[in-house]
Structure 1
Amino acid sequence: MAARILHRLRHALAGEGGREEREHGGSEAEDCPESSELEDDTEGLSTRLSGTLSFTSHEEEEDEGEEGAEEELGEPPQPTGTAAGAEDGGRCWGGQSGRSAPGCPKHCWGAPKCGSAPERGGGSLLTRQLQELWRRSRGSLAPQRLLFEVTSASVVSERSSKYVLYTIYLIRSGQFDKAPAAIARRYSDFERLNRCLRCRFACDMAGVAFPRKRLRRNFTAETIAKRSRAFEQFLSHLHSIAEIRRSPEFLEFFFLQDLRAAQRLTCTGMYREALATWANAYQLQDRLGVCSSGRFLLTLAGLAVCHQELDQLGEAHGCCEQALELLEAQGSHPLLGPFLQAHVHLAWKVGKDKRRSEARLQDLWEAGLPLQQQPTLKEYLIKEPLE
């Protein structure tokens, strides 16, 4: 069947010369084997059809994305003007069907009208329409969701206990996460969270499933795999309930352990290790959407201190600026004075403008705040208890 189509197409494109050849040598063409027809005409056919549906703009995406956009949006858009759809007047869509319209003597591969020669603008018009369709489909994607994925599970043996430690990544759907946030939790941590939430949100938690305890076979690969999937579904279900995902119990399950560990490392002078822990706590709070809380300001203070101690003054200055933007609307906060003083000092070091912070410090002094008694960011981190 394919050989016959190619054979007819070859003679249709040949025009009048093709008709004469068909009249005088039709029987010879039919006698030729199918393989020879494919070998003779495949290269020419590829040359004529190449580039019709290719994307040339900077927004080129992978094939999977293009196919997904077409499936979601249904039928391709009908072209306007001279390139109208196949249903009026027998016009063809870039050879998608592989057949000509009834009564059409030629196959119209990308031509705007059957019976006329292919025009170079037809392929460009179709390409532009597909590009526009792709741009519109990208703008109407589903909103981002937070995904919870257990990426690994390891059996930990200590002196008096043995448990499985699950590593969970928090991933934003719909985009590439350059700095993913991760936590490591054991079954008892999940069980404690489940118990606290059921005490406070009994109605909301009624439909939330939690994996049961087992008396044995807790360390088999099958049990660990089933629990991994169950924990993913458990966290996703909790995050889908607005009241629960905003609760301190749910939020601090993710980042309170990191904050405590980072504070302990900072107080003992292990700034490089503390910096990595503060940074992960920052990413966790960012994913969970709590970048205006007191815990987040404490995280920025920890990042600023560690960057400064590691002589990364530009990064420390950036953390202070971000904190001061969050504190802009607040008249007073225990961290406002320490952040302003650190910002003035770092701005002087890196050659940035410090006049606004100096003016705000002056306002605080005139309001009666004893600036000399204000702790530094490092002192505040040491004294601030994390319950």
Structure 2
Amino acid sequence: MASHLLHRLRHALTGEGDQEGLAGCSLEVDDFPESSELEDDTEGLSTRLSGTLSFTSNEEDGEMEEVQNTPVARPEAGGPLEPGTRGDATNSGEPSSTLAEHRGSNMLTRQLQELWRKSRSSLLPQRLLFEVTSTSVVSERNSKYVLYTVYLIQTGHFDRAPAMIARRYSDFERLHRCLRHHFSSDLASVSFPRKRLRHNFAAKTIAKRSRAFEQFLAHLHSLPEIRRSAEYLEFFFLRDLQGAQQLTCSGKYQEALLAWTNARRLQDKLGACHSGHFLLTLAGLAVCQQELAQFGAAHASCEQALQLLEAQDRHPLLVPFLQTHLHLAWLLGLDKGRAEAWLRDLQEASRAGPQPPSLKELLLKHPLP
């Protein structure tokens, strides 16, 4: 009896005498190339994808959970099959377990493809990245210092217009000292790189300070109150505004335009597009663009300024912007009816007042700290 059972077991393991039955249910790997590539690494791939996916709305999160929780057919567990298929497989001639394995593999492949599609189409969360891209040792008459060039890059999409600043150690130290005076609790745990008696110009020291300044600026930007403070914002763009104003006064409009443009990019990335400094920046852009015969760009700068000034009838820049806007619209052959009516209403309301200066005059006379 035992020998008979052993003979039957050996016969079943070697598959002798039942090749035809097995041939009917065997699968070739090439029939399903996608599933054969993905099945072996399903859990690892799902883990990697779930760690990098990011969604911007609750609706997309719900869709993500639905994809991850979709039941997958497992032949050994008798899982549900795809709608429209039969579990007994009487018409196809395949065993039900094998058919379930096929359908489960295809379903799993579609889920992973859907995860990949969502990961590519979803928007990454945007944040501001500070990166020291270069340094230079500057020697002046009585001093020598390192100048750090810092780029501000908006992540989450391709940043076509990164902005940059060039600051020395004393500038960062002054910012830290000023912010500690106003935000002592927020900066109590911040360790600022100290001055050194020696090796201040060594490559190793400069590299360490570069990384420290990147982390310092990123930490400041992560704190909402500091991020909106005048001290923090002016550290980035006030120097550009002062230089641009001086260049404009000197008639160096091409160089001034570059400075105004960089100041605008800085304010845009820092979220400071509703301040008086930003209106002054748009005024500088409009004046320089007009002087350089870039009338379309100057008109666009005036349009943006007028949108910000729409509810501020008493702002000193409103009438100069309207006058410049009307002149540019006349040069470009654009509609100017709305601007004419707006300016006429303002002039009637202040008929006894003095004639306001032009945009260029107001820009050159505007004091900057």
Which range, TM-score by smaller chain? 0.7 to 0.9
TM-score (norm 1): 0.73
Decide whether aligned partners of structure 1 residues 313 and 127 sit closer, same or farther in structure 2, where only a CA change above 3 A counts: farther
Q: Distance in 1 between matches of 2:162 and 2:47?
A: 28
| Partner SS, residue 331 of structure 1 | coil
Q: Distance in 2 between matches of 1:338 and 1:50?
A: 69
Which residue does 2:309 correspond to in 1?
A: 327
Match of 1:48 among 1, 24, 31: 31
TM-score (norm 2): 0.76
After superposition, the C-alpha distances for 1:156-214 in whole angstroms (9 at most, x for unaligned) are 11222111000111122322211001100000111111121122222222122211011
CA RMSD of aligned residues (A): 3.6
Decide whether aligned partners of structure 1 residues 234 and 139 sit closer, same or farther in structure 2, where only a CA change above 3 A counts: same
The number of equivalent residue pairs is 322
What is the aligned-residue identity percentage? 62
Match of 1:224 among 189, 206, 222: 206
Deviation at 1:276, TM superposition (A): 1.2
Amino acid at match of 1:89: G
Question: Does residue 77 of structure 1 match 2:68?
Answer: yes
Match of 2:196 among 188, 199, 214: 214
Amino acid at match of 1:286: D
Match of 2:254 among 261, 264, 272: 272
| Partner SS, residue 311 of structure 1 | coil
Q: Distance in 1 between matches of 2:104 and 2:287?
A: 62
Moved more, 355-364 or 375-384: 375-384
Which residue does 2:78 correspond to in 1?
A: 89
Q: Distance in 2 between matches of 1:239 and 1:354?
A: 41
Residue segments in structure 2 that go unaligned for 5+ positions in a row: 1-14, 38-44, 54-63, 82-93
Decide whether aligned partners of structure 1 residues 207 and 53 sit closer, same or farther in structure 2, where only a CA change above 3 A counts: farther
Contact 2:73–2:100 (CA under 8 A) maintained in structure 1: no
| Partner SS, residue 147 of structure 2 | strand
Q: Distance in 2 between matches of 1:310 and 1:67?
A: 56
Match of 1:161 among 143, 156, 177: 143
Q: Distance in 2 between matches of 1:340 and 1:67?
A: 57
Contact 2:76–2:97 (CA under 8 A) maintained in structure 1: no
Structure 1 stretches of at least 4 aligned residues deviating more than 6 Å after TM superposition = 73-76, 117-122, 138-142
Q: Distance in 1 between matches of 2:296 and 2:279?
A: 18
Match of 2:99 among 111, 116, 119: 116
Deviation at 1:309, TM superposition (A): 1.4
Which residue does 2:245 correspond to in 1?
A: 263
Contact 1:91–1:113 (CA under 8 A) maintained in structure 2: no
| Partner SS, residue 150 of structure 2 | strand
Contact 2:74–2:100 (CA under 8 A) maintained in structure 1: no
Q: Distance in 2 between matches of 1:132 and 1:195?
A: 51
Contact 1:297–1:323 (CA under 8 A) maintained in structure 2: yes
Q: How does 1:114-153 map to 2 (within 5 A)?
A: 114-116=97-99, 123=106, 129-134=111-116, 143-153=125-135
Decide whether aligned partners of structure 1 residues 150 and 368 sit closer, same or farther in structure 2, where only a CA change above 3 A counts: same
| Partner SS, residue 181 of structure 2 | helix
Residue segments in structure 1 that go unaligned for 5+ positions in a row: 1-10, 23-43, 55-64, 93-110
After superposition, the C-alpha distances for 1:195-244 in whole angstroms (9 at most, x for unaligned) are 21122222222122211011111000110011111111211222222222
Amino acid at match of 1:181: A
Q: How does 1:1-387 map to 2 (within 5 A)?
A: 16=20, 19=23, 45=29, 47-50=30-33, 68-72=48-52, 77=68, 79=70, 84-85=73-74, 88-89=77-78, 114-116=97-99, 123=106, 129-134=111-116, 143-368=125-350, 373-387=355-369
Contact 1:84–1:112 (CA under 8 A) maintained in structure 2: no
Q: Distance in 2 between matches of 1:226 and 1:384?
A: 40
Deviation at 1:246, TM superposition (A): 1.3
Q: Distance in 2 between matches of 1:386 and 1:87?
A: 77
After superposition, the C-alpha distances for 1:257-288 in whole angstroms (9 at most, x for unaligned) are 00111111111121111111111100100111
